[in-house]
Amino acid sequence: MGTPGIFVSFKSAASDALELWEKGTLLLLLKDAKSQGSHVITKSSDIPTDISDDNKQYIERALIGYENKPKKVLVYIDTAESENVNAGLAWATTQQFDYLCAPPTVTSDECTEIVTWIKAEREKYHAVRAVLPNQEADYEGIINFTGDGIKISAEKTCNTAEYCSRIAGIIAGTPMKMSCTFAPLAEVQDITRLNEDEQKKTIEAGKLILIHDGIKVKLSRGVNSLKTTSDTKGKEFKKIKIIELIDKIQYDLRLTIADTYIGKYENSYDNKLVLVTAVQTYFNELELSGLVKEGSSVVEIDVDAQSAWLKTEGYAVEDMTEQEIKEANTDSYVFIKVSFTPLDAIEDVNIPVTIQ
């Protein structure tokens, strides 16, 4: 079997990453007395006409987007009397989407259910995230949107939960090379304003807020709810943009390897190098696109992991050279490691001005 196809597939996956947020999909959970079940909405005329005005407006706000509009909005409508969001989450498990929003009438208990569900899905490599009101989840897959007094007309002021769909639409409509930081909300006339110190403390606490710059209302820095960093989750994991890229890379690698490599090659050293080169090709494309820092990506056989596996199989790895470890028979297992530096968007500019 020839090898060119695997390289083409990895290059295509990298190219698709650039278009990810032109294809951004939202999933909204709603409760209503009418039109229960699932709906796919790409434009306002697709919204069920018999649902409540509040639910219609919730969907409308999601469709606005930012630089781009979401490709589609998946909606699951449960009964108005439902006391949880279990039915919607069960359906969401079977769907591919980027961001989930709870019903605008969501309770604290329901938000907790969704946080637990998001964590479980991401553990299974279902790379979904949620925009939730006032949820200090301390987790990169949850965006903790907070804020009050969101005045969109003389007659209408939204609370935090009612505005989550708008925030999710903005994020889904942000191209991969941009961040949602300072995205303007033209329809918002005013908000409950915070001073600069309050804004800083709130953002550092992992909260996505709205700010007023004296002229207009806009999003604050594009952060998720992660507050606690570690060796495996550094400060870059707090950024919505970076998590989107990491999720996309993991999704691409898992899917493309499954489709083009698994079961199609004998597990020889040479074929392991084929995969290493193909994955490096993928990252080279991301570097050329400006999503990953040029020259930062390294793909190689994971000698430590392979050595540990060989030891469990009875190999005297202490007597083997590194090359012998790399070339050793590892049955059906392939151990590869990747390192790279994602590129953030420009968000902090320092320009000292001197009067002469």
- Please give the average per-residue pLDDT across 153-158, as a whole number: 88
**Count of alpha carbons within 13 Å of 214, Cβ hemisphere only?**
2
Compute the C-alpha angle 263/265/271, nearest 5°: 135
Extract the runs of DSSP E, i.e. beta strands, from 178-283.
207-208, 210-212, 217-219
pLDDT-based confidence at residue 60 (cuts at 50, 70, 90): very high
Contacts of 130 (CB under 8 A, 6+ apart): 99, 100, 101, 102, 114, 115, 118, 141, 142, 143
pLDDT-based confidence at residue 8 (cuts at 50, 70, 90): low
**Residue numbers of the domain that contains 137:** 25-172+181-221
* Total residue count of the chain as it appears in this document: 356
Q: Which 3 state secondary structure label does DSSP give 280?
A: helix
User: Is residue 6 domain-resident?
Assistant: no
- Please give the average per-residue pLDDT across 30-57, as a whole number: 97
- Residue 58: per-residue pLDDT: 98
37 in Cβ contact with 141 (< 8 Å) = no
**Count of alpha carbons within 13 Å of 256, Cβ hemisphere only?**
24
User: Is residue 267 domain-resident?
Assistant: no
User: Is residue 57 domain-resident?
Assistant: yes
| 146: CATH | 3.40.50
pTM for the predicted model, two decimal places: 0.90
- What is the rounded CA–CA span in Å between residue 184 and residue 205? 22
- Residue 77: per-residue pLDDT: 98
For residue 144, give the nearest of 91, 108, 176 by alpha carbon.
108
Q: Which residue has the tokens 């392939």?
A: 334
User: Is residue 190 domain-resident?
Assistant: yes
Between 51-65, 158-172, 255-269, 304-318, the lowest mean confidence (pLDDT) is in 255-269
Domain count, the chain: 1
For residue 143, give the nearest of 240, 262, 21 by alpha carbon.
240
Handedness of CA 201, 205, 210, 215 (dihedral sign): positive
The better pLDDT of the pair 147, 295 is held by 295
Residue type, 227: K
User: Is residue 229 domain-resident?
Assistant: no
- Please give the average per-residue pLDDT across 163-184, as a whole number: 94
User: Is residue 187 domain-resident?
Assistant: yes
Q: What are phi and psi of 151, to 5 degrees?
A: -90, 115
pLDDT-based confidence at residue 23 (cuts at 50, 70, 90): low
